[in-house]
Structure 1
């Protein structure tokens, strides 16, 4: 079994257009959630989100590319460019053949879908652009990354709702650990902050109209976000031989199924995923200092997740720090685990634990240390990242400081 390390990272999300900006925002406890600016926003009951602001596609892509890249693909390519620049990798020959892309994405090209539904059903047009299908397909982002960087190895997209990114990064981890690949570009992306995307989520009645307050007794729902985060997972000896700057080591992964309900989470399913990741990483409860929680700000998730953590960690649960950065950047659905992995890297590399902002009232059913409102300096050697999705699909990653 090979060791797997992270040698590059890149992102664009509501907190910043780069990893550096995102880390600064997380350390400051800055909120990237605000009023959204989209077409027909006045017809929505929910008018807030973690929207990527001050973003202009024509500053990054030409007209032909914009015609082919949905917003979620654009975000991915920008994040991948940053991650690969930091990693200092180029792909040719055997390395290209042994390197690939695994991305998490749930909605695909929702902006493209929304625009073309309008065109056909509202405007009555009978023709759409010939690139609509390749623009909206879920694997578009992964495919464009593979083409842009000559990645000829295993490349695919994982779509498991809110656990998509963690499932994708878990698959990338296993491909490198097994020796099947030397380098994998991985992470997740999402952009469904369009009228149809928000209207669909409104129907679930789990959305907040004012803020995301995970673990706080007065929380009133989740808030959508958008963006992408991309990482370079690399075999340790390969990274070491070329003198790469190692950000963290990925040491464990587990995934489970609740097999119970399409929307209600299961404590047992979440607990089995957490315990499985620790078992895979050969960790004891006392080894873990920080957990980046799924922490959506809904009563069902927050209480279930806290109960699962308490079950797995026992007495050590009182010594854990567990925070939800969704309070700052919103819930990126298929891309959320990737942006949240950055909080784990920040804790491991910089000794700064991102806070759960918006925390106002203690909830006796969420009595863990949720790092309320203010980031914390702390020594963190091992961190976990949780993702629990609709459909009862759970994925947990374990990382270690290098």
Structure 2
């Protein structure tokens, strides 16, 4: 089995349109992160997409050809490839995979077209509607834009999509099917109908997201994309490139229980599987980027799962970055993998923002409010989705 390395990172989030802005925003978060005007029906968009810069000279000749989730994915991929110093001249395009996670690709397009059809009475919709709303559109646009001809598809497992995509991409490289893989997640769910649907579930906060804190009232939706470029260590050496980190292992599981109620046993199974795949012990994990949505049920259940895996009193330091980035659904796993990798690289743990007071049921060290210097060699990133779909990935230093 081939060693898998992380060579490039690309982020497009509410914190900014670059990796530097992303990291700066994580370690010095605004403690008043919230939907504009504090309205739960309004999500938090990417700060700046700079579409003209990202699509220049690419297959995406005009942003109108893409659903917004696909455009975010293309933009983040361009940044990740530049970070990796990778072009079609430095790899075999036929041995580059594109495995992207997305919880609900095409939602923005559907909302726009339904608005025209039902409210405006336009019976003839755009012929671009179907190509734009396809769940696979992000993978297609990435492969067309950058000329990659290896396996390409979208993983759809709700909020675990991005993390699942990283695990699958790493397996393709480990087994020798491809040399390089573009993976991570993208979602733009900030359409009126979709936001109203989330509001109906009753999980949205009316002010801000406070993961693991006593005063938490729910999550804050956001859009974004987080993309990783993975490659085999052999391929990186051949092109004289020094990667950022290693993918040590990944695990996944299904609760087989309830569509929306989280299950500690299922979460624990994914984390245990990731440890086994990575061939590392519980004691070797220095930091966990938790799923930490800011809902009462998720955070308490995840706390119980972490205690199951690591032992009561032995859970490593952890934090949730959703209080800073918002919850980008299918993109969350990709974005949070970037956060875990940058924590590994910088020796600084991003804080759990907006932490007002401890919840006795979440009695873990969650780095409240202020970033912390902390030497790490091995980190874990968790994603636990509606439908009982769980995924964890473990990264390590080179």
Aligned counterpart for 2:76 among listed residues 76, 79, 82: 79
SS in 1 for 2:336: helix
Instruction: Provide the residue aligned with 2:154 in structure 1.
Output: 157
1:18 corresponds in structure 2 to 18
Per-residue CA deviation, residues 233-262 of structure 1 (Å, 9 max, x unaligned), is 100111122221311100011110000000
Unaligned runs of 5+ residues in structure 2 are none
- Is 1:182 the counterpart of 2:179? The answer is yes
Conserved? CA contact 1:317–1:368, under 8 Å: no
Separation in 1 of the partners of 2:247 and 2:90? Answer: 26
Deviation at 1:98, TM superposition (A): 1.1
| Aligned equivalent of 2:294 | 297
Deviation at 1:163, TM superposition (A): 0.3
User: Distance in 2 between the 1:311 and 1:208 partners?
Assistant: 28
Match of 1:4 in 2: 4
Shift of 1:334: 0.4
For the 8 Å contact 1:184–1:232, the answer to whether it is kept is yes
How far residue 302 of structure 1 moved from its aligned partner, in angstroms, is 0.2
* Unaligned runs of at least 5 residues, structure 1: 38-43
Alpha-carbon contact 2:96-2:179 (below 8 Å) kept: yes
Q: Structure 2 CA distance, aligned partners of 1:45 and 1:25?
A: 22
Give the secondary-structure state (helix, strand or coil) at the position aligned to 1:130. coil
Q: Deviations over 1:194-227 (max 9, x none)?
A: 2112111011001101000000011000110101
CA RMSD of aligned residues (A): 1.8
Change (3 A) 1:287 1:137: same
Distance 1:235 1:139, change over 3 A: same
CA-CA distance at 1:30 after TM superposition: 3.4
> Is 2:108 the partner of 1:114?
no
1:170-319 counterparts in 2 under 5 A? 170-315=167-312, 317-318=314-315
1:102 match: secondary structure: strand
**What is the alpha-carbon distance in structure 1 between the residues aligned to residue 164 and residue 138 of structure 2?**
16
> How far did 1:55 drift?
4.0
Distance in 2 separating the partners of 1:279 and 1:54:
40
With the length of structure 2 as denominator, give the TM-score of the two structures: 0.95
TM-score of the aligned structures, taking structure 1 as reference length: 0.94
How far is 1:36 from its partner?
Answer: 3.7
Deviation for aligned residue 1:342: 1.2
Map 1:87-126; keep pairs closer than 5 Å.
87-91=84-88, 95-126=92-123
Contact map agreement 2:90 2:239 (CA 8 A) in 1: no
Equivalents in 2 of 1:401, 1:140: separation in Å?
33
Q: CA deviation at 1:61?
A: 4.3
1:34/1:48 contact within 8 Å kept:
no
Q: C-alpha displacement at 1:56, in angstroms? A: 5.2
Residue 323 (structure 2) pairs with residue 327 (structure 1)? yes
What is the alpha-carbon distance in structure 2 between the residues aligned to residue 222 and residue 8 of structure 1? 29
